[in-house]
A and B are shown apart, each in its own frame.
Chain A
């Protein structure tokens, strides 16, 4: 079978049997069926008769999945077949659990989220159609860099800013729609970084000076590390968004490390971050509060530590198999539809359900690293890596926050949390990964040829820089 597939890939003939797209179709069907079944269970937990919302979710998701699949088939036929199904599985379960929160809170976020799903998948399709070659993006790297800064400060601009919501200033109001530009900033930043570091990696990799036990590059090349650290702290202070700062900085260090191959960079970065964080701890009360909750939520269960305590209660009470869909109390956990959606899963589906959800993320991340490894060129490698690390870190920061591994910061769980900007950003991210994986087709394990090509290009770039 695999030999046949390989042949068809090379010859570009119509794929049959276990071609990537056929695999994708089957997996997508599985994701949709799981969602529909969960949606029905949720409906039955409330009344013996199936509510129309359960059917609606299923139908909408099926239609969107078919469209997405057809667009990928047309524009990126060789792309990784698991990305889209994993995104749909997470997205679909997200819809079910947002509906679950709706039932408890009397809200109707799930319908909005369904609309956002359609919009986001449309955005993904647009990116697939427009960006036919991922190198196209590296040409505009500085534009993306600038865009990142603009997106980050947008919520601070009077007139646009939606003000401080739940202790953070992350949203803008555009024509009555609330949007979180930071969700897109992480994408633009990764695009900028991949482009910038691909060009500078030679300079950053050579020459070393010894500071204590560390071998470090010349100080002027350290500038990006310091600038990024500073930017992360500015985000932390200005937007009161610890989670995003951690996310951006972590993605930056990972891309920097892979681009230069030097462990000194992330090591230095972490030292710088530690120093910066301790300064932030001294300067900002909200940072101190977060840390004190993390160290001891139990002495403040009724006030500052309420959300963390309720999260732990929910997961703990859920136990191994959970209270069952519809059997938990999402109304007890603040922000259960957005930041704390993982907690609702943990309570109602138990340790098993929560583990399954994390495994889905893990699979997505593993595929991301594989795409990074097999990308056609270094830009693609760095971009895929940055995007993958973004998803991995985001998952870790929010799940770890809700389970007291790290201080709790309010960020979304990719695809699962309620929130249009987050969903949109993550589907665009998937589009980029699909594109990179499609470009690498026909050269499985093609690192050697890739290396040759990129070495040649690097020389050109270095010359151009002079």
Chain B
């Protein structure tokens, strides 16, 4: 019988061997897939046991965690509601994370989630883990001014400190309140989410960074930069035509209001900028050729991904254009498209002596005891073949002066602020239907701004609609500094 007992024992060992092997497969090989399976709430609950750090603007927390009873221990709150909704994003156990809640998750958690509760010491003595506080560069007054000035209009505002790249305001309208999307009530989240998702005005889209629009006449800044670098000066005279006869096409380009820009004789480049003269800039584009235009746009950041905490859509200019296209693109129509963030970067570079800086939202990260972990500083945006000095200082200053003229005595007078040097450029892009209107500019060296209002209404212009919004935001930013 002992032989048979041996075989039964061997069979038993085999069964246990299968168990051991299988346990190893589950706990080691499949562990990640199992831990991250959507129906497995363990990591989620562990994550909600963290006292997630606050996101702070000025003195106030715009995202903070509140302890609750229940499985999901901490509740995320957004005291400022929709004002910073696109920036903070939501923190939802159904929808996941978006905005800075997603981008800065590791900072807000304090340490990578995988490290959590993996050692006995943590488990016994440090169960209440707290995340780091993230301080933003935003100026609350400027942000509020942007929201109030836009009002019910669809549109977006981005304001940047030209010297540092610090984003002072970034608001898109309509916005959304992340609060209801971040509760612990699944039905409530869906009830709040569905109307937002289905709203034709798309409040979930952050138009400041994630949508591109035809930049219209604001693109003339780039055309002019190319011209100045190519031997023209602000005084260079151009024929003042009612219509520019674009080579190779019937579709000629006229001016806004269908007249000449000055007296019908000649007009200087600076004056053409001041009154936003389409015929001059279309002619300039064709004279210089597509390559100059594309190159200058790319140096300012087109066809590139701006470095930023949140994902910014690429602003685009076609890599090759025929002559009619070049004429259209030189005045910011046709296939040229830009985000408000990109145009604010352009304005900032011109206010900053031609130096391109990386935009950023995070000023500092502090641990729960207040110790500074990380601080951001002005960083030049250069990469690959692109130097951060987009144009030399002389060209930048010439453009800057031309922009000041625009506000002093041109299309941008509505942006004037007493006692402050304000420069700018208006834009009114005709794309069929209502125009998309723009204002990009700066006040002193302290704030650069871009405003877009798409579908602004039949006879709206950048000067009438966008310039006052920019003015309000610049004024608020200056007052706070």
Chain A interface residues toward B at CB < 8 A:
41, 44-45, 254, 257-259, 261, 301-302, 309-310, 312-321, 323-329, 332, 346, 350-351, 354-355, 358, 361-362, 365-366, 369, 372-373, 378, 381, 385, 389, 392-393, 396, 399-400, 403-405, 447
Q: Are B40 and A313 in contact (CB under 8 A)?
A: yes
- Cross-chain pairs A/B with CB under 8 angstroms, 23 sampled: A44-B124, A254-B8, A259-B1, A301-B39, A313-B34, A315-B23, A315-B34, A316-B33, A316-B34, A318-B27, A319-B28, A323-B117, A323-B123, A325-B123, A326-B123, A346-B23, A361-B16, A365-B9, A392-B16, A396-B15, A396-B16, A400-B22, A403-B22
Judged by a CB distance under 8 angstroms, whether B372 is at the interface is: no
Find out whether the CB atom of A351 lies under 8 angstroms from the CB atom of B28: yes
A405 touches B1 (CB 8 A): no
B1-44 residues at the A interface, CB under 8 angstroms: 1-5, 7-9, 12-13, 15-16, 18-20, 22-24, 26-28, 30-31, 33-35, 37, 39-43
Instruction: Contact check, A362 vs B16: say whether CB atoms are below 8 A apart.
Output: yes
- Contacting pair B39 A324 (CB below 8 A): no
Q: How far is the CA of A405 from the CA of B41 in the complex (A)?
A: 24
A365 to B17, CA, bound (A): 14
The answer, among A45, A261, A315, A372, for a CB contact under 8 Å with B124, is A45
Residue of B nearest to A396 (CB): B15
Interface of B is mostly: helix
Q: Do the beta carbons of B9 and A366 come within 8 Å of each other?
A: yes
- Answer whether residue B45 sits at the interface, using C-beta atoms and an 8 A cutoff: yes
A327 vs B123: C-alpha distance when bound (angstroms): 7
Which partner residue on chain A sits nearest B4 by CB separation? A258
Q: A332 touches which one: B4, B35, B42 (CB < 8 A)?
A: B42
CB contact between B19 and one of A313, A373, A396 (< 8 Å): that residue: A396
Specify which chain B residues have a CB less than 8 angstroms from the CB of A346 in the assembled complex: 23, 27
B366 CB → nearest A CB, Å: 28
Q: Which residues does chain B contribute within 8 Å of A447, judged by CB atoms? A: 2
Tell me whether B39 and A261 are in contact (CB under 8 A).
no
Q: Cβ of A355 and Cβ of B23 under 8 Å apart?
A: yes
> Is the pair B118, A381 in contact by a Cβ cutoff of 8 Å?
no
Q: Which residue of B lies closest to A309 (CB)?
A: B39
Instruction: Give 1 or 0 for each of B394-416: 1 = CB within 8 Å of chain A CB.
Output: 00000000000000000000000
Contact B8 A321 (CB under 8 A): no
CB distance A316 to B27 under 8 Å?
A: yes
Given contacts A403-B22, A405-B19, are A389 and B12 in contact (CB under 8 A)? yes
Chain B residues lying within 8 Å of A301, measured Cβ to Cβ, are 37, 39
By a CB distance below 8 angstroms, the chain A residues around B16 are 358, 361-362, 365, 392, 396
Nearest-CB distance from A452 to chain B (Å)? 14
With a cutoff of 8 Å between Cβ atoms, the chain B residues found around residue A366 in the complex are: 9
| Contact call A317/B12, Cβ cutoff below 8 A | no
A437 → chain B closest CB, angstroms: 14
B34 touches A312 (CB 8 A): yes
> Given the complex, which residues of B lie within 8 Å of A310, measured CB to CB?
40
Interchain nearest-CB distance for B156 vs A (Å): 41
Instruction: Among A41, A44, A316, point to the contact of B31 (Cβ < 8 A).
Output: A316
Contact A319 B31, CB 8 Å, known A312-B26, A313-B39, A327-B123? yes
* Interface contacts beyond A315-B23, A316-B27, A362-B16: sample of 10 additional A-B pairs, CB < 8 Å, sorted by A: A310-B40, A316-B30, A319-B27, A325-B123, A332-B41, A362-B13, A373-B5, A385-B8, A392-B12, A403-B26
Residue of B4, B8, B22, B123 near A45 (CB, 8 A) is B123
Q: In the complex, which residue of chain A has the Cβ closest to the Cβ of B18? A: A405
> Which of A254, A324, A365 gathers most chain B CB within 10 Å?
A324
Establish whether residues B15 and A392, one from each chain, have CB atoms under 8 Å apart when the complex forms: yes
Alpha-carbon gap, A312 to B34, bound state (A): 7
Which residues of chain B have C-beta atoms less than 8 A from A302's C-beta?
39
Bound Cα distance from A447 to B1, whole angstroms: 9
B4: contacting residue among A261, A325, A326, CB under 8 A: A261
Interface centre among B16, B18, B35 (most CB of A within 10 A): B16
B479 interface contact, C-beta 8 A: no
Judge whether A351 and B24 touch: CB under 8 Å.
yes
CB-defined contacts of B34 to chain A, threshold 8 Å: 312-313, 315-317
Tell me the smallest distance from the CB of A65 to a CB of chain B, in Å: 27
Query: Which of A41, A309, A378, A392 has most chain B Cβ within 10 Å?
Result: A392
Rounded to whole angstroms, the CA-CA distance of A258 and B1 in the bound complex is 6
**What distance in Å separates the Cβ of A242 from its nearest Cβ neighbour in chain B?**
17
B120: interface (CB < 8 Å): yes
In the bound complex, residues from chain B placing their C-beta under 8 Å from that of A45 are: 123-124, 127
Return chain A residues, CB-CB under 8 Å to B3. 261
Q: Contacts of A320 on B, CB cut-off 8 Å?
A: 27-28
Contacts of B123 in A (CB 8 A): 45, 323-327
* Alpha-carbon separation in the docked complex, A257 to B127 (Å): 55
Q: Name the B residues within 8 Å of A399 (CB-CB).
A: 19
Residues of B within 8 A of A381 (CB): 1, 5
Q: A320-B28, A329-B45, A332-B42 are in contact. Are A355 and B124 (CB under 8 A)?
A: no
For B13, the chain A residues whose CB sits under 8 A away are 362
Q: Contact: B26 with A369, CB < 8 Å?
A: no
Contact of A327 among B15, B20, B117 (CB under 8 A): B117
Report yes or no: B27 in contact with A351, Cβ–Cβ below 8 A: yes
Are the CB atoms of A373 and B41 closer together than 8 Å? no
Given contacts A396-B16, A403-B19, whether A315 and B27 have CB atoms under 8 Å apart is yes
Q: What 4 pairs between A and B have smallest CB-CB spacing?
A: A316-B34, A351-B27, A324-B123, A313-B40
Contact A313 B37 (CB under 8 A): yes
Question: Which residues in A have their C-beta under 8 angstroms from that of B43?
Answer: 317
Chain B residues lying within 8 Å of A309, measured Cβ to Cβ, are 37, 39
A257 and B8 contact, CB distance less than 8 A: yes
When distances are taken between beta carbons in the complex, the residues of chain A under 8 Å from B40 are 310, 313, 316-317
Within B29-74, the residues touching A (CB, 8 Å) are: 30-31, 33-35, 37, 39-43, 45
A361 to B19, CA, bound (A): 12
Q: How far is the CA of A410 from the CA of B120 in the complex (A)?
A: 32
> For the complex, what is the distance from the CA of A4 to the CA of B4, rounded to whole Å?
33
Name which residue of chain A comes closest to B25, CB basis.
A403
Q: Give CA–CA (A82, B115) in the complex, Å.
A: 39
- CA A309 – CA B35 in complex, angstroms? 11
CB of B28 within 8 A of CB of A324, answer no
The answer to whether B23 touches A400 (Cβ under 8 A) is no
Say which residue of B1, B39, B127 sits within 8 Å of A378 (CB atoms).
Answer: B1
Q: How far apart are A321's CB and chain B's nearest CB, in angstroms?
A: 7
Complex CA–CA separation, A302 to B37 (angstroms): 13
Picked from A314, A319, A332, A365, the residue with its CB within 8 Å of the CB of B12 is A365
How near does chain A come to B22, taking the closest CB pair, in angstroms?
5
Residues of A with C-beta under 8 A to B15 = 392-393, 396, 400
Chain B residue, CB-CB nearest to A314: B42
Identify B23's interface contact among A258, A369, A403, CB under 8 A: A403
Residue of A with least CB distance to B34: A316
Q: From known contacts A318-B27, A329-B42, A389-B12, infer whether A355 and B20 are also in contact, taking CB-CB under 8 Å.
A: yes
Residues A354 and B31 in contact in the complex (CB < 8 Å), given A45-B124, A258-B8, A301-B39: no
Min distance, Cβ B64 to any Cβ of chain A, angstroms: 26
What residues of B have a CB within 8 angstroms of the CB of A317 in the complex? Answer: 31, 34-35, 40, 42-43
Shortest Cβ distance from A378 into B: residue: B1
